[in-house]
Structure 1
Amino acid sequence: MASGGDDAETSPCCALQRAAACLVLQIHKDSTFEDSLMDSPHQPKKPSLNREPKRSQNQSAPPPQKDAYARLLSQHHSSKFSLYLEQYAKDFEKEGNGPSVQAQSYGLHVQQQIREQVPRDFSDLPDVLPSPVKNKGEESSLSLYMEKLSTRGAQQECEKKQGVSDRQRRGQRRDTTTSQDGDIESGEELASLKPNSAKKHQKQQKKNKDSNRDVASKEAELFQGFPQSPKKSSMAAQEPDKSSKSKRKGPPKHPDEEKNREGNLNLGVDAQTSRPISPHGKDKKEPRASTTSSPADKSKSKDRRGSKKQVFEPYMTFEEVSHGLKRGELLQGQLRINPKKYHEAFVPSPDDSRDIFLDGIVARNRALNGDVVVVKVLPQEQWKVVRSDTDCESDTQTDHARKTAQRKTNPSGSEDQVSDQDELVTNSRNTALADTVGQLEDPSTPRSNGGILQKTAKVVYIVEKKHSRAATGFLKFLPDKPFALFSPVDHRVPRINVPLADCPQDFSSRPGDHATTLFICRIVDWAADSNFAEGRLAKTLGQAGEIEPETEGILIEHDVDFSEFSDEVLDCLPKNLPWTIPPEEMSRRRDLRNECIFTIDPATARDLDDALSCKLLPDGNFEVGVHIADVTYFVEEGNCLDAIASQRATSVYMVQKVIPMLPRLLCEELCSLNPLTDRLTFSVIWKITPEGKIQSEWFGRSVIRSCVKLSYDHAQSLIEAPEKLFSPEELPPVDPAHPIDEIHQAVLHLHGIAKHLRAQRFSGGALRLDQLKLSFTLDKETMMPQGCYVYQYRDSNKLVEEFMLLANIATAHHIHRKFPELALLRRHPPPKAKLVDDLQELCTQLGLDVDLSSAGALNKSLHTLLGNDEYSSARKEVLTHMCSRPMQMALYFCSGVLKDQQHFKHYALNVPLYTHFTSPIRRYADIIVHRLLASSLKCGPHIGLSMAQVEKQASHCNDKKTLSKRVQELSSDLFFGVFVKESGPLDSEAMVMGVLDQSFDVLVLRYGVQKRIYCKSISELASFHHRKVGKMSELTLVWLPEDPESAPVEQLITIFSLVEVQLRADDAPMKYSAALKRPEDGKS
């Protein structure tokens, strides 16, 4: 592959000579035309390049004129041609004594030499050739060109005298790999080179660099005797070259750009210098030259005719990255971008200290949220100065502490209204206004005695593009442009140039008709020299603010496959319906169809994958069974059905619908444990004492027949009325073989054992951080929200949770014992020590004696510190939210990958081994676990996955689980926004969660949502004051009196303060805000 820019050879090929000759001939023609204009009495005479034009005091400087050589050179996109022409001219020039009075004779000599090298046959040259021109034009063009070379040589001398190294000056282009048409290659393309190709590529780069040094030294020697003013040299070198702008990649200038959204994606020099500390400003020790090293370097690069200014650095090669990681010079991690302040991004620090900060979009180098990137830490003088004891910040300062909200433990918000059991933080809402206490100051904060440094870095390589590269947003029409500007709703995604051909047919003539239309756009490229990405419109969704278009946008943005299953997938399902269990399969299983087995699920659930049984034994103990749908019987490893299930990895539960992992025939029929139907299952059966002590355990494949489908409400009613005789009308249809009283007693026995199991877990050091979950009642026809409420986690939920946990823990031990290298397990790392220390300090500031030494100690603190009054649950919710910040996510992994079993531990459950076994209909990880279990019991084939394949699938399941949780949260936010718009305004009590210097965050108790209230938006306030009392941050709000004779009312805002708020719909679709209500007398 030919590299452009700096790889010109001193002996060009014949084709290059012919093309160069064409350019020179065209130069002659255009130069003659320019001379005629310059000699015309109606045109002002063109000033010399070495002089500044005279102008009046009030007259602005006219734009610099562009000579024919620069214009044609900039129009030609290959920098190889331009370098050849420069070298060609210098070779002839060196025969004389420089650009003196002999320039005209040099021009004649050059003309003669070129004519001798131009082939007689012009058939392979462009169809339109320049006509012959006079010698006068040739002389004029070459004289101007020599003058430009002189200017450049003098500028080099000035730079050297000022201490600017030649290598740094040429850094912008020297590491950029381009094809002959000027297209920049991505880091992934470099990584995909074969080893020998990569070596050749590196050798060629080295050769190019050496050649560049020779060319630069020749230029310097050539013009040593022609000094110029440094100022004038710089001006000449920075002469703008408008025609060099690419028609395809140039950032559009549009009036709406300034007010597009919270800030402007202006990645030019001004955007860099506006930062307190530029991530690319002073890194002179790098082995690679920076393409955007500093504004000064950018300025110096303008003298390179025909090339666009680089906005981003070229990515390192795969070999360079590999060596850098091995030497510890580079770090790898997942990029997280602040959703509210998109110029802030973070990657985790490998030493569990404070996250590494990436300041600005240029530092991210075209990586998007969630991508796995390699970063290079910047020199220490460019690190960020923060203070650990700050708990306030201005609305205009960096909201740095929000980084932890995006790293929060997976919220379970489980689709069956029971958590995923192992999740530390359940039902949490990943809102961006978390982390408002204990916040860190902006980099502009002066260094103080208590100041600490936070590492900053820049992205040098993208290992894996985990972001979908899809976004929902709006189109903006750009006059006189062949493309439209796509503005994503998510500010973390760049603005995108979209071809007009992708836009609606009448978009150019009637752009206003589409102003509120939501589109889906996919990024297809993002060049290193462009502020904007390039993309294609994938779909027109519909009007913003409507539930279905917004829902579809959420799914596409988060890479959720909601397409119909293909015929190839459906062909893997049984054809003869209704399906019955084959007799030979029945004979291989334990027959439990006569046992009292039932399901407990949400009333609307259709994918019933777990059932319970409990039978009193003669010795007073119980036989308790957990029975899980045997999905692997229908999903054969390696077929099309298995492939789509492994790709989707999880079902996605939204407010109004479910995107299933498996076809509905399996989810809702063949695998679902529907009542009064024979179904295949995997069972774990224990002999347990009434106190929850396990005496024996059995695993095996079985056949069950559920006798009733209970909802959580039904089960709760049975638990709360142990003496009541329930009538058939109070419960769903029941199998006549099992009386209602038998089912009632089984539920009560399970509840009693579950209470003992739960007490043992928490006394043994388990932790659970419950957060509020919002549920909706929907209109059956329109699916619009009619009401909403905070879901109550009750004893019936706890009953199911305890036995699912017990089954998962037992299965984890079994498969790890049988397959120590292949077991798919689930671990939960402990919180990062530094963040725990920060939290401990924060709790001390609040006067809370919270013990964070272990999961169990924290759980005990949460249940004993906050009192027993009516607001104790609200205070616990606020503290739970604060304690969730340091927690890490639970992760699937392959046991053979981690050699130290200490890393297998699940922090929140405080158990050494854990996995997921109980939901194979909606989680692919459970399917792998089922296959391992079947193989270990000799009732199924040996699993065909290697250790590396299990680990890869585990990582994919982690990604998909995170995305599915985020989709669930966004769906809930969407419906609540609609509910506020349709039913609002809504009044509620709220508790303050965090205090800043101009705003504060509240938890709206009635609905479980969190909102930020800005003091400046409260029109009835006379003033507000922020102060710190000890280490506590507080705001004093001074309300205007309701009548002139009354005194102003003061209201104190601190963490745990109770306030009254009103939720109101905003003008933007689906958006709402919280307004603080005036305090009543005596409650201020």
Structure 2
Amino acid sequence: MPKEVVAEKIVKKKEIVDEKSSDKNLDDSSEKSSRKQDRVVVKLPKPSYVHPDDHIHTKRKALFAPFMSPKDIKVEIRQGKLYSGTLRINKRNRQESYVTTDSLDGDVFICGQHDRNRALDGDIVAVRLIDPEKAMEKKREHDMRRRDEKNRAQDKNGDPSVGKRNNTADDTKPKSKFFGVVVGIISRVENPAFSGTIDIERSQQKSKKDSDNKSRPNEKDKHKAHPFWFKPTDLRVPFIMIATRNVPPGLLKNEAKFKDHIVVVELVEWPIDSAFPFGKIIQDIGQVGELKTEAKAVMLDNRIKDSPFSPKVLNSLPSTPWTIPVKEYKKRRDLRDTRVFSIDPATAKDLDDALHVQPLEDGNIEVGVHIADVSFFLKTHTALDAEAYDRATSTYLVDSVIPMLPSLLCEELCSLNAGVERLSFSVIWKMDLKGNILDTWFGRTIIKSCAKLSYDDAQSVIDGNKLPSTVKLAGHTTDNVESDIIHLYKLSKHMRSRRFENGALSMNSIRLSFNLDDNGDPVGVWIYEMKESNRLIEEFMLRANMSVAEKISEAYPEQALLRRHIPPIERRMEEFLGLARELGYTLDASTAGTLQASFDAIEAKDIQTVLKILAIKSMQRAKYFCTGSFEPEKYSHYALNVPLYTHFTSPIRRYADVIVHRQLECALQKKAGCGYQKEDVERIALRCNQKKDGAKNAQDQSIQLYLARYLDIMEKKGSIISPAIVLQVTSEGFDVLVPEYGLEKRINVKSLPLEKFKHNPEELCIDMYWKKNSIPCREKPEKPSDDDSETDSKSSIEQIPDTDIVDTRPLDNIPGIPVVKLSQESVMEVAVYSSENLQKVKPFTRLDVLIQAEMNRSPPIINVYPVNPFATYPKTFPKI
């Protein structure tokens, strides 16, 4: 029955009832007869669609709105009544989430769990826009209730009224220009299984509460096991109830064993009448805090597929020993005699790219970028191609690589190893002496690399030295290779300078590297410093990606797979610029170029670093997309400040690059179609985006895991005290950056041993009145809070920008690279007033912090505490 008809009958029923209630002279019999007739007329049919989770099997009321049917969702999306996109939940506050959709020029803010309607982080959802004013009012009421609950408890460390006054500061600012509610889940996050721990205490409390509510327990229920509560590692995932029927026998017999074990729970359902989803335990992966166990949890939570390649996939590989087919020599440009070499991390095994440079008779220069021809081996509609699509990217962890392709391809047949002939896909430019492109050639080639150089090898030449004696060359002289490096370096300097003059933005983040011992434990850590050799490779890879983007978008304006980086979130950028002005720095963020120029104008490098970290919070990640999905003006890449960009240079480790190779081949053959419909490219782009985000998150979490383990080991030798820069101050705390370890942490002053504290918004500072000789530190195991906002976590928890730095692989584990140090000139010490035990904390000031790691939690965490200048610190703290 059409919805309009149903609605009309409901209205008529209401009108009839109103008429009856006003007519007091009707006798009982006629009233009953009339009501009976009304019931027949307005009887509503059963809904044509009911989602499995929307069936109510209990007497409880529905807590959520029922999901719309997939058919209706598709219709209303086409009509512009609904919007689809990926849901992202704020890790600091689960009540706030956003839907990123390509159809609007901003994210859709979802307020609260009710409006999120059982959707999980990463789900593709359908949202309906709602009135922003009403949504903000609802949010303010919700926030007020949360604050009232918190403020009922008196805080010994500060004046509660201060927190109450200042907590409302940001409530009047809308979170987004769009507000909405989730009306359906188009597709759940892949494999909805999560790692975490069984909350034994919560489970027992719930069980006791349920039994107390029964006046007379049923005799049969006495011997039934109580349900358990699962607390996911990921703070964005709610508690999950494990029903009795899904509780493993081992857990029933020995609850204590599971108290400190990490288990994996699969989501089974989320009924419409339950505040929590239901799940079942599918795996026990080990002890909390063990390095291997925690690493496995990282991969699982980010849905990294690390299982061996199946026999069916391996059967798709070419037979070995393999040689290049004779027909390929006839079809391809033969560059085996050209002096080609690769520059990569010293430990790299999957060599995607190589370069050559040679002078031309007309005084110009020829430069070639040669990329592994993975698409020659990876044929469409094969098990191998399906597996590559499924994985979509290689994942680089501290201790291992989870490859996209079997090792026979990624380390041997495709890898551009030195001294062997390899198939490649090349972009060759004719350039002038300043790196301006005069002509471009694309095509399939055969190369024979003469050397595998590391970044340090190339840097040695750039610094005026020779190649190390350990470098082995095949068929070419050391002098010639050194000369080529210098030529490429000079060209890259011109290209890089011109790129930034044209408005590019550099937002590189701090990157840690580790030394591991034979047991896999970290024994050294440092911050990797980008050198000129890294930037040399970056320039030519970026230029190759741009050239290919121009070619395939021209050939296939509706189906090309490109990559775009949308401008910063406007509200957040305005907040950042306002903060910068209050700190005395006027920045121009009208374009990426003006923002970069503003940063460059600041002489103090530490201040630059702080401001860039604050600016990062307004940035969004670059994404793959299909050209037919957007108007051309939306193709641009904000950080690179170019109109067209794609990924072509890493097909061994990115499936998106494989698709681009296939499209480029079709374009060179001048085929009418690229082999993919628009819908196919949209699906592939979505998949690659999801898996790339997962791989990036896994890499970051792996680094934090190994850093926590390293600090835990170092604590046994003595207290870890390190200098930190204050990034920004809030009403209840401040954010710090610890450059030595690349740590960014938020410090909540309410948790410190203070007599009192006071926030001075006019001075942009917070005054901390310390208790003398009191040391803020981890004195006992901290129980994780159910409230996300109280969690000590990375403060830049929102999306981290991906400005498409070419090399995202693990960096060389070579000791001796200096740690980033704080300069004495640009950052002043935090002011200390001994008479009052007062410490005034302001942005851009420096203070010492105590760092402690907790390996008895999952995931392990790193705590940062400001050093009390009025206390004496012991050499070591006892381990819990």
The 5 Å alignment of 1:517-916 reads 517-577=261-321, 579-721=322-464, 724-726=465-467, 728=469, 731-735=470-474, 737-779=475-517, 781-865=518-602, 867=603, 872-898=604-630, 900-916=631-647
Q: Which of 938, 951, 965 is equivalent to 2:682? A: 951
SS in 1 for 2:728: strand
Write the letter of the residue equivalent to 1:535. G
Cα distance in 2 between the residues matched to 1:206 and 1:387: 33
Question: 1:1060: which partner in 2?
Answer: 848
Count of residues in Structure 1 that have an aligned counterpart in Structure 2: 747
Q: 2:699 matched to 1:968?
A: yes
Cα distance in 2 between the residues matched to 1:847 and 1:685: 47
Alpha-carbon contact 1:398-1:441 (below 8 Å) kept? no
Q: 2:251 matched to 1:507?
A: yes
Cα distance in 1 between the residues matched to 2:145 and 2:847: 22
Q: 2:717 matched to 1:997?
A: no
Classify 1:726/1:452 alpha carbon distance in 2 versus 1 (closer, same or farther; 3 Å).
Answer: closer
Q: 2:123 matched to 1:371?
A: yes
Cα distance in 2 between the residues matched to 1:833 and 1:1017: 33
Q: 2:87 matched to 1:344?
A: no
> Residues 650-670 of structure 1, C-alpha deviation per residue, up to 9 Å, x if partnerless?
111111111111111101111
Cα distance in 2 between the residues matched to 1:361 and 1:343: 6
Alpha-carbon contact 1:719-1:751 (below 8 Å) kept? yes
More relative contact order, 1 or 2 (CA 8 Å, 6+ apart) = 2
Cα distance in 2 between the residues matched to 1:864 and 1:586: 53
Cα distance in 2 between the residues matched to 1:1012 and 1:459: 31
Alpha-carbon contact 2:541-2:649 (below 8 Å) kept? yes
Cα distance in 1 between the residues matched to 2:57 and 2:702: 51
Question: 2:838: which partner in 1?
Answer: 1050
Cα distance in 1 between the residues matched to 2:325 and 2:651: 22
Classify 1:858/1:213 alpha carbon distance in 2 versus 1 (closer, same or farther; 3 Å).
Answer: same
Deviates more, 1:881-890 or 1:962-971: 881-890
Cα distance in 1 between the residues matched to 2:381 and 2:103: 39
Alpha-carbon contact 1:831-1:886 (below 8 Å) kept? yes
Cα distance, 1:635 vs. partner?
0.5
Cα distance in 2 between the residues matched to 1:788 and 1:446: 38
SS in 2 for 1:749: helix
Cα distance in 2 between the residues matched to 1:306 and 1:676: 71
Cα distance in 2 between the residues matched to 1:357 and 1:575: 53
5+ residue gaps, structure 1, are 1-198, 227-287, 292-303, 400-438
The 5 Å alignment of 1:17-56 reads none
Cα distance in 2 between the residues matched to 1:675 and 1:440: 66
Question: 2:742: which partner in 1?
Answer: 1008
Cα distance, 1:205 vs. partner?
10
Deviates more, 1:935-944 or 1:1005-1014: 935-944
Cα distance, 1:1048 vs. partner?
3.2
The 5 Å alignment of 1:92-491 reads 307-318=59-70, 321=73, 330-347=82-99, 356-378=108-130, 382-384=134-136, 457-466=180-189, 468-475=191-198, 476=200, 478=204, 480-481=224-225, 483-491=227-235
Classify 1:668/1:396 alpha carbon distance in 2 versus 1 (closer, same or farther; 3 Å).
Answer: farther
Question: 2:868: which partner in 1?
Answer: 1078
Classify 1:913/1:944 alpha carbon distance in 2 versus 1 (closer, same or farther; 3 Å).
Answer: same
SS in 1 for 2:366: strand
Cα distance in 2 between the residues matched to 1:768 and 1:366: 38
Classify 1:593/1:483 alpha carbon distance in 2 versus 1 (closer, same or farther; 3 Å).
Answer: same
Classify 1:512/1:215 alpha carbon distance in 2 versus 1 (closer, same or farther; 3 Å).
Answer: farther
Write the letter of the residue equivalent to 1:927. V
Cα distance in 2 between the residues matched to 1:999 and 1:967: 29
Give TM-score scaled by structure 1 length: 0.64
Q: Which of 734, 755, 758 is equivalent to 1:1025? A: 758
Alpha-carbon contact 2:108-2:176 (below 8 Å) kept? no
Alpha-carbon contact 2:247-2:280 (below 8 Å) kept? no
Cα distance in 1 between the residues matched to 2:165 and 2:377: 56
Cα distance in 1 between the residues matched to 2:583 and 2:22: 67
Alpha-carbon contact 1:386-1:441 (below 8 Å) kept? no
Cα distance in 2 between the residues matched to 1:658 and 1:387: 43
Alpha-carbon contact 1:335-1:370 (below 8 Å) kept? yes
Classify 1:221/1:526 alpha carbon distance in 2 versus 1 (closer, same or farther; 3 Å).
Answer: farther
Cα distance in 1 between the residues matched to 2:404 and 2:171: 53
Cα distance in 2 between the residues matched to 1:830 and 1:447: 25
Question: Cα RMSD (Å) of the superposition?
Answer: 3.8
SS in 2 for 1:540: strand
> Residues 850-878 of structure 1, C-alpha deviation per residue, up to 9 Å, x if partnerless?
1111111111111112x2xxxx3332221
Cα distance in 1 between the residues matched to 2:441 and 2:170: 65
Alpha-carbon contact 1:385-1:453 (below 8 Å) kept? no
Alpha-carbon contact 2:430-2:437 (below 8 Å) kept? yes
Q: 2:663 matched to 1:932?
A: yes
Alpha-carbon contact 1:905-1:911 (below 8 Å) kept? yes
Alpha-carbon contact 1:572-1:639 (below 8 Å) kept? yes
5+ residue gaps, structure 2, are 29-46, 51-55, 151-162, 208-223, 775-832, 872-880
Cα distance, 1:680 vs. partner?
0.5
> Residues 430-454 of structure 1, C-alpha deviation per residue, up to 9 Å, x if partnerless?
xxxxxxxxx9999967998x99997
Q: 2:768 matched to 1:1037?
A: yes
Classify 1:599/1:386 alpha carbon distance in 2 versus 1 (closer, same or farther; 3 Å).
Answer: farther
Alpha-carbon contact 2:667-2:674 (below 8 Å) kept? no
Classify 1:218/1:635 alpha carbon distance in 2 versus 1 (closer, same or farther; 3 Å).
Answer: farther
Cα distance in 2 between the residues matched to 1:325 and 1:811: 33
Bigger radius of gyration, 1 or 2? 1
Alpha-carbon contact 1:352-1:832 (below 8 Å) kept? no
SS in 2 for 1:655: coil
Cα distance, 1:313 vs. partner?
1.9
Classify 1:544/1:202 alpha carbon distance in 2 versus 1 (closer, same or farther; 3 Å).
Answer: farther
Cα distance in 2 between the residues matched to 1:932 and 1:326: 28
Classify 1:860/1:840 alpha carbon distance in 2 versus 1 (closer, same or farther; 3 Å).
Answer: same
SS in 2 for 1:520: strand
Cα distance, 1:532 vs. partner?
2.2
Cα distance in 2 between the residues matched to 1:787 and 1:677: 36
Cα distance, 1:1046 vs. partner?
6.6
Give TM-score scaled by structure 2 length: 0.78
Cα distance in 1 between the residues matched to 2:601 and 2:637: 24
Cα distance in 2 between the residues matched to 1:683 and 1:613: 11
Alpha-carbon contact 1:387-1:452 (below 8 Å) kept? no
SS in 2 for 1:531: coil
Cα distance, 1:319 vs. partner?
5.8
Cα distance in 2 between the residues matched to 1:519 and 1:852: 46
Cα distance, 1:903 vs. partner?
1.4
Classify 1:1059/1:574 alpha carbon distance in 2 versus 1 (closer, same or farther; 3 Å).
Answer: same
